[in-house]
Structure 1
Amino acid sequence: MTHPGEITRRQLLRRIGLTAIAAGPGAGLLTACATGGGAEPAASAGASAAASNLVSAANPLGVDAKKPLEVVIFSGGYSDAYAKDVHEPLYSKAHAGVQIKHVGTQNIGTQLRPRFLSGDVPDVVNNSGPEALDLAALAAEGHLADLTPLWDAPSVDDPSKKVRDTITPAAIENAKLNGQDLVLNYTVSHRALWYDAKLFAAKGWTLPETWEEFKALGETAKKEGIVLFAYPGQKGPYYQLWNMLYTAAKIGGNQVIIDIDNLVDNAWKSEAVKASVTAWLEIQTAYGDKAYLGLDHTQTQVKHLQHKVLFYPCGSWLENEMVKDKPKDFEYAIAPVPSVTAADKMPYGAIQVGVGENFVVAAKGKNPQGGLEYFRIMLSKEGAKGFTEKTKNLTVVNGAAEGLDLTPGLVSAAKAQDAAGQDIITDARFEGWYKELFDFAWQQQNTLMAGRLTVDEYLNRVQKKADDIKADSSIAKQTRNV
């Protein structure tokens, strides 16, 4: 099931220029200062710009080039070269004489929590990685700038079009907090199981489409000293939480995830979630290796490249993240999760396709107009194309991938999405809405996978956490219909 704010095969391939190819967080940051009730109205970064004499056709957001701009980028899977080499130079070219302070870090939370608490905030934040800030808490404190002026501003490429009309609608619809436009989701990502297509071809293996075939391949791989499946227990364990949730959606339909997002009573204890968690615990117990629970994402991904792991759950940023370590004879490809039961509501080919990689402008920063303008430049075709060239990942900008030489992994993802058709698994939004719940769920998941919890104990614990959040009036609640 899809909806107008969700990416479908035709929408995505048409809008990002992939029609010719038929053949991938963050939200209890400010728990020390979050307040009760609903979110404060977002500060409108465009309000002062509208009254500024700096506003012109060439400068619709009223940017003052005398004001420096500070940009903080999560230097993980995408690195931060796209900001340093593409977006920041484009901003400097558009606003001559501007000073840009660039900060690249893999520790967003550690670096920025104290700054938000003190009021000394950067202008642009790429909020991603294991330490991603709690965007719902930031919104409740009025720290996130309203992006409406950006969406209504003229596009860099075609001033007759608003920025909102040049990107896939999911980039706006799926990022709303309390109905407000506070977050830019910049990338299109595919989350499923990644494998080496050349290894499968050399071995004569076919992709398993059922759980029984998955286990049979596990027996074959075990004889060759290969772990069927592994995920990182450190700095990336949420990859497996995504995996279990999206498997549950294949079993019971997208309503399973919608109910979890909406804090519906006993949503975590549904038959579909229980079946998914049970199935993955079975794989971990019979064909996994607990040693991986002590490794981080990079270490686990290196093991994958060394053919010590057959399938790895991740998003389509993986190929670029490992480009320096990838052997020449390794070819990334994407595979849907095998069907767990014959009665699964979604077919084998269903995969998760969503928008992500959160960017926000600090409403209380020194240069919010500059932050919005930086986003406008990111959403130009030149800015988006440069990002794809640097990261080998797609953006939400329509047509920006046209003419690019895409990597095997990205082509594989596009083919998988084409095969899925309308059977697209919805995104789990509670990750951004209730980060405390999301973090608790993957932390308990590690305990489960280590054999120290039963499936029922795991589900009871996570459901109890969801119930506590639902009952806590100090936490602003979000809802979705589809």
Structure 2
Amino acid sequence: MLEAQTITRRGLLHGAAAVGALAGTGALTGCAMGGDSDKEGAKGEANAANPLGVKQDAPLEVVIFNGGLGEEYAKAHEAMYKERFPQASVKHSATQQIAETLQPRFVAGDPPDVVNNSGGSQIDFNALVSQGALADLGEVLAAPSLDDPKVPVKDTLRPGTIEAGSYDGKFLSLNYAYSAYGIWYSEKLFTERGWQYPKTWDEMIALCRRIKAAGISPWTYQGKHSRYMSWPILSAAAKLGGVDVLKAIDNLEPGAWRHEAVRAAADAYYQLAVDGFLQPGASGMDHIQSQTEWSRGKAAFISCGSWLENEQKAVTPPGFRIAVAPTPSLTAGDKLPFEAFRGSGSEAFVVPAKAGNLRGGLEYLRVMLSRQGASDFTRKTSSLPCVAGSTAGLDLSPGLASVTKLIDAAGPNTFTWLYNSYYRKLERTLVDAACADLFSKRINSAQWVDRCQQAADGIAKDASIKKYKRT
């Protein structure tokens, strides 16, 4: 187990036992989590200064996932909450073991007021949602923003934030960090070598040949978490075939993974393994090891989200100039332009339905979504929050500046998928294993597509798993 300073946002704890117990045995069933109004906990008088009716002296407990983003940003938010409610005590704790630590408290009906349900050991959202364990955050969306009472909170959020956190029409999870997913490289290395980031797949393969000839591995990847390589595959498929390709996957439609766009994308990225463009030994590396190899210039490209800069800041050499770009276009006829990329919320924050200070939990999220809260997050993590315009006036790090350029260039052409939130096991276990076999050349791209489809079909047929519909 890695120490807190090296554990990532996703974490290394798989928490299979805890998650399995929750999702498979109905560990929360006895909690009667669904929404009796008299179980809401502490209440205060609602007014213009306190629109959510927080009880002034009610204690607030916040539990943070101690991953790649750390916990300092949360301490800043807690200090803001304390300024608003000076009579309230605020208890802060951080852990990498969210499920192991908090599942018993959900079962006992005594959860914290705010939970950052993230990391490899997060509590399965499907189980939390299906058993009514989460409070509806719709009141936060409708509440006036902290900065301008004429503007509701929902109008301050980046596109896709509400969709990503909604289940059956209820907004239950605030994915606070806005992650841009793409292919990362060093601008310093590329400038020194005279390389240009490729905009087409043919250009990518041609550049990989040049990089390999220069004695550098063209690509590395997080072999022990090989699902990271499913991200460029699905991104390329969405750009080739359109966003409906992703919606079909999210909705567990028969044959969705066998769509010709997914096949073409899988075949393209499989070529990296076949042509020897992957760093030797990467299949046995975890995310920290492979990303460190990349930071040290041993490989040119790596697939990741925009938490990468903060996660690697301790080992990234000065002048590296970390940068991100979209996945290359597969064909000249792609339905989405080269600039299109996957942008999605991450770092899920929830308020348990049985929180002792539910009103305070909702208010804490409103504080997080203020301009000051968003700016504090960016300064302390080099990451974007889901609050639009939150980087105004800030001196941005190279990676974050690159992310903002990516967002600006894409305009409306951003997309994401939700199957990983709806059905955690499908991505974290089944697709992950298929990717490990694909990039180790134990299976080919056609077999990978079949494996993923069979896994999705298994989820679809499992009556114990609640299903969601993306429109």
**TM-score normalized with structure 1 length:** 0.87
SS at match of 2:463: coil
Verify the 8 A CA contact 1:36 1:476 in the aligned structure 2. no
Unaligned segments of structure 1, at least 5 residues: 1-23
Q: Deviations along 1:49-95, whole A, 9 cap, x unmatched?
A: 8x9453333322232344332212122221111002x1011111111
Q: Which residue, out of 59, 66, 70, partners 1:79? A: 70
SS at match of 2:151: coil
Q: Deviations along 1:402-443, whole A, 9 cap, x unmatched?
A: 21111222222222233333432x211011111121221112
Verify the 8 A CA contact 2:118 2:347 in the aligned structure 1. yes
Q: State the distance in 1 between where 2:443 and 2:159 align.
A: 41
Q: Which residue, out of 167, 182, 204, partners 1:192? A: 182
Write out aligned runs for 1:54-93 (5 A): 54-84=45-75, 86-93=76-83
Verify the 8 A CA contact 1:229 1:284 in the aligned structure 2. no
Q: Deviations along 1:129-175, whole A, 9 cap, x unmatched?
A: 23333212101111111112222223222233322233235322332
Q: Deviations along 1:213-267, whole A, 9 cap, x unmatched?
A: 2122222222333211121123x43322222111211222211111101111110
User: 2:136 — aligned with what?
Assistant: 146
Higher deviation after alignment, 223-232 or 194-203: 223-232
Query: What's the offset of the Cα at 1:48?
Result: 4.8
Q: Which residue, out of 420, 423, 429, partners 1:434? A: 423
Q: 2:302 matched to 1:312?
A: yes
User: 1:8 — aligned with what?
Assistant: none
User: 2:262 — aligned with what?
Assistant: 273
Q: State the distance in 2 between where 1:376 and 1:330 align.
A: 36
Higher deviation after alignment, 220-229 or 412-421: 412-421
User: 2:111 — aligned with what?
Assistant: 121
Higher deviation after alignment, 439-448 or 66-75: 66-75
Over 6 Å off, 4+ runs: 24-27, 44-47
Q: 2:436 matched to 1:451?
A: no
Q: 2:23 matched to 1:31?
A: yes
Equivalent AA in structure 1 for residue 204 of structure 2 = F
Verify the 8 A CA contact 2:40 2:353 in the aligned structure 1. no
Q: State the distance in 2 between where 1:214 and 1:255 align.
A: 26
Q: 2:231 matched to 1:242?
A: yes
Q: Deviations along 1:163-213, whole A, 9 cap, x unmatched?
A: 223323532233210111111122222110010001101111111222222
Q: Which residue, out of 83, 103, 106, partners 2:93? A: 103
Q: State the distance in 2 between where 1:159 and 1:209 align.
A: 44
SS at match of 2:344: strand
Q: Deviations along 1:329-377, whole A, 9 cap, x unmatched?
A: 2001112212223433323232222333211111122222221111011
SS at match of 1:383: helix
Q: State the distance in 2 between where 1:224 and 1:180 align.
A: 53
Verify the 8 A CA contact 1:268 1:459 in the aligned structure 2. yes
Verify the 8 A CA contact 2:378 2:391 in the aligned structure 1. yes
Verify the 8 A CA contact 2:57 2:85 in the aligned structure 1. no
Q: Deviations along 1:439-464, whole A, 9 cap, x unmatched?
A: 21112211222222232332222212
Q: Which residue, out of 382, 386, 389, partners 2:376? A: 386
Q: State the distance in 1 between where 2:211 and 2:191 align.
A: 14
SS at match of 1:214: helix
Q: Which residue, out of 327, 331, 335, partners 1:345? A: 335
Verify the 8 A CA contact 1:136 1:177 in the aligned structure 2. no
User: 1:15 — aligned with what?
Assistant: none
Write out aligned runs for 1:395-406 (5 A): 395-406=385-396
Higher deviation after alignment, 468-477 or 239-248: 468-477
Q: Which residue, out of 200, 207, 210, partners 1:210? A: 200
Query: What's the offset of the Cα at 1:41?
Result: 8.8
Unaligned segments of structure 2, at least 5 residues: 1-8
Q: State the distance in 2 between where 1:219 and 1:46 align.
A: 66
Query: What's the offset of the Cα at 1:475?
Result: 2.2
Write out aligned runs for 1:362-373 (5 A): 362-373=352-363
User: 1:171 — aligned with what?
Assistant: 161
Equivalent AA in structure 2 for residue 76 of structure 1 = G
Q: State the distance in 2 between where 1:391 and 1:214 align.
A: 31
Q: Which residue, out of 304, 327, 333, partners 2:323? A: 333
SS at match of 1:189: strand
User: 1:283 — aligned with what?
Assistant: 272
Q: State the distance in 2 between where 1:239 and 1:411 align.
A: 23
Query: What's the offset of the Cα at 1:25?
Result: 7.6
From the superposition, tell whether residues 99 and 371 of structure 1 become closer, same or farther in structure 2 (CA, over 3 Å). same
Coordinate RMSD, CA, aligned: 2.7
Q: State the distance in 1 between where 2:44 and 2:96 align.
A: 39
Verify the 8 A CA contact 2:52 2:359 in the aligned structure 1. yes
Q: 2:269 matched to 1:258?
A: no
Q: State the distance in 2 between where 1:388 and 1:402 align.
A: 11
Verify the 8 A CA contact 2:136 2:171 in the aligned structure 1. yes
SS at match of 1:87: helix
Q: State the distance in 2 between where 1:119 and 1:53 align.
A: 22
Query: What's the offset of the Cα at 1:106?
Result: 2.8
**Corresponding residue pairs, total:** 452
Q: State the distance in 2 between where 1:113 and 1:243 align.
A: 33
Q: State the distance in 1 between where 2:330 and 2:159 align.
A: 32
**TM-score normalized with structure 2 length:** 0.89
Q: 2:173 matched to 1:183?
A: yes
Equivalent AA in structure 2 for residue 218 of structure 1 = C
Q: State the distance in 2 between where 1:238 and 1:102 align.
A: 32
Q: Which residue, out of 408, 421, 429, partners 2:398? A: 408
Equivalent AA in structure 2 for residue 221 of structure 1 = I
Q: State the distance in 2 between where 1:167 and 1:69 align.
A: 25
Q: Deviations along 1:4-40, whole A, 9 cap, x unmatched?
A: xxxxxxxxxxxxxxxxxxxx98996621344999xx9
Q: 2:419 matched to 1:423?
A: no
Q: State the distance in 2 between where 1:36 and 1:396 align.
A: 30
User: 2:3 — aligned with what?
Assistant: none
Q: State the distance in 1 between where 2:38 and 2:303 align.
A: 40
Query: What's the offset of the Cα at 1:47?
Result: 8.7
